[in-house]
Amino acid sequence: MNRSDLFQQILKKQSFLCVGLDSDWDRLPSHLKSLEDPIYEFNKVIIDATKDLVVAYKPNTAFYEAMGPKGMASLKKTIEYIPEDIFVIADAKRGDIGNTSRLYAKSFFEQYAVDAITVAPYMGSDSVKPFLEYDGKWVIILGLTSNGGSKDFQTLELQNGHKVYETVLSTAATYGSADDTMFVIGATKAEYFENIRKITPDHFYLVPGVGAQGGSLEDVCKYGMNDQVGLLVNSSRSIIFASDGANFGEASRDKAKALQQTMASILQARGMV
Amino acid sequence: MNRSDLFQQILKKQSFLCVGLDSDWDRLPSHLKSLEDPIYEFNKVIIDATKDLVVAYKPNTAFYEAMGPKGMASLKKTIEYIPEDIFVIADAKRGDIGNTSRLYAKSFFEQYAVDAITVAPYMGSDSVKPFLEYDGKWVIILGLTSNGGSKDFQTLELQNGHKVYETVLSTAATYGSADDTMFVIGATKAEYFENIRKITPDHFYLVPGVGAQGGSLEDVCKYGMNDQVGLLVNSSRSIIFASDGANFGEASRDKAKALQQTMASILQARGMV
C-alpha cells in the first residue's frame, strides 16, 4: 500500500488507528483454548470486530514466535485473514548485516506478505536498505521508543549537538524516503513530537504507547500530525484484552470505537474530513 | 552452560571457534534439495563434520525464518541435534519493550532451548534484562558490529567524550555480569579491541567477521583475548559453504580444522593449554 492509498484509507475511515495483535497465549479467553488454533481464532474475532474502525493491524512477532513453529503458522493465517485494504505491520524489530536483512525482508514480505516491518537502527544503513528494495513495502525504523530503557542510549547527547535519536531520524531518513520509511515514535514523549516533525516533516510515525503505556492521543496529534495525518497510533492490550469473557470481540470493538471517534473529532476539527 | 564450563570446553578442544549455521536455502548443495528437510540434513552433515573442532554453533534465525513456519521447525530440530556440551547461540538480534522481550526469552530459551541469544541494545535496559532472568542462559549484546553501517551510529562521538558503542558497552555491562552477558564485537576493527577490553575486561566477545568478512584471527587474539580466552570467533559462510558438492561435509571440516589449528597454536603460545 502506498502513502497516498494509506492517507485515503485514513480519510475514508476517519481513523488512524492501528491495533496491535499482541495475542499473548496467557491472556487469551479460556473458552478459546480448546480450539485447534486459539491464537488465530482470537485474532479472527478481534479483526471482525474492529476492521471497519482501523487502518492497520500490527502483530508483534514475539507473541507468535513464543509458541514455536506453530505460532508462526498462526501468524501467517492471521495475516491472510486481514482484509486487503488494511495495512499490516510485522512488529519484528529486526536488523542485521545486509545479506541477512535481505533474508528477513524475504521472510516478512514474501512468506508473510506484510506491508511493513519494524527494524532497529543500531547496525546502520546496510541493515535497513534491503527492506527498501521491495516496491510498495515499508520499513518502520525505531526512532524514539516509549519504554524506560529509551533513556539509556536514544536520548544521549552527541558531540554534533543532537541527541542520538535525532541523528538516527535525520540519517535513516536518507536511506529511503517518506514513501517507504516510517519511524516509531513513543507517545509517552508527546512534547518531543514538535522537534521530531522538524527533522522529518513528511514521514509517517507509528506511535505506540497510547493506552496501556499511558500516552495521550490529543497531545500526540497536537504536536505530531502533518497535512497527510502522518500518524498511525497503535493500541494493543487495552483493545484486544478489554474483556476475557465470551464478549471479548464486542469489548474490543467498544475500546477501538472510542479511540476512532476521538480520531474522527480531531480530523474534523482540523478540516481534514 | 556457565562461564567456567565454556572455558573448560575451550581448553579441552583447543578451540574457541563458533560455526555460524547460516544455512541459506539458495546455497545448499543441490543433491540435498529433494530430501524432506534439506536445511536440517545440511546442518546435520556440518555438525557431524565439525563438532569436535568447535565450542559453539550459531544459527542466524533469518535463514530459518525466511522459509516460513517449516524453517523454524528445521531450526528446532537442528538445535536438538547439537551435542549437549556445545554452546548454542540464536543469532536473532531481538530487542523490544520488557513484556515483549520476555516472550522472546521464552521463545528462544524454552521453545528452542539455546544457551544464548543476540540482542540489539537500542531500546535499553528493559529490552535486555528479561533475557537475564533465565539461570544459565546468556544474552549477547551488539557492541561494535563488522558491517559498513556500523559507522552510521555506533562510532559517533557523544558529549561524554565516548563513542556510542563504548557507552553501550559500559552501560549494558551493568545490566548483568560477565557470567551472563557477552558482546558482539566485529573483527574488521581489530585495533579497537584494546580499548574495548579496558571497558569490559572480563566479558566474552562473540566475534563475527573472520573469514568471509575479512577479519584477521591473529589480530583479534592479540588485542581481544583475556585470561579466560574471552573470545568466541565465528565463521559462517567460509566454513559451511566451502563446497557445494557431495563432499561439502569434508570441505567444511577442512576449513574449520585450519581455524582450530591456528587457535590451538595461539593458545599454546600463550601457555593456556
Q: Which tens digits make up the pLDDT trace of A74-100?
A: 999 999 999 999 999 999 999 999 989
Q: State the DSSP H helix or E strand holding residue A89, giving kind and residue range, or none if neither.
A: strand A87-94
The pLDDT, as a whole number, for residue A216 is 85
Strand partners, B10: none
The pLDDT, as a whole number, for residue A118 is 98
Mutation for A interface: B65, B67, B132, B174, most A CBs within 10 A? B65
- Whether residues B167 and A153 touch (CB distance < 8 A) is answered with yes
Mutation for A interface: B103, B109, B155, most A CBs within 10 A? B103
Strand partners, A185: A144
* Pairing state between β A181-185 and A204-207: parallel
Parent domain of B180 = 3-269
Give me the catalytic one of A77, A93, A129, A257: A93
Q: Model-level pTM? A: 0.96
CA-nearest residue to B171 within chain A is A152
Q: Print burial letters for B145-173: b (CB count within 10 Å at least 16), e (below 16).
A: bbbebbebbbebebeeebbbbbbbbebbb
Show the CA angle centred on residue A76, arms to residues A71 and A81, nearest 5°: 120
pLDDT band at B174 (very low <50, low <70, confident <90, very high): very high
Q: What CATH number should be reported for the domain holding residue A71?
A: 3.20.20.70
The pLDDT, as a whole number, for residue A228 is 95
Decide: A272 and A266 in contact? Cβ < 8 Å.
no
Decide: A201 and A190 in contact? Cβ < 8 Å.
no
Distance from CA of A255 to the nearest CA of B (A): 22
A95-124 residue pLDDT tens: 999 989 999 999 999 989 999 999 999 999
CB atoms near residue B26 (< 10 Å): 8
- Whether residues B157 and A159 touch (CB distance < 8 A) is answered with yes
Decide: A108 and A95 in contact? Cβ < 8 Å.
no
Decide: A49 and A250 in contact? Cβ < 8 Å.
yes
3-state secondary structure of B121: coil
Decide: B184 and B141 in contact? Cβ < 8 Å.
yes
pLDDT band at A8 (very low <50, low <70, confident <90, very high): very high
Q: Which of residues 109-168 of B touch A (CB under 8 A)?
A: 111-112, 120-128, 142, 145-154, 156-160, 164, 167-168
Number of domains making up chain B: 1
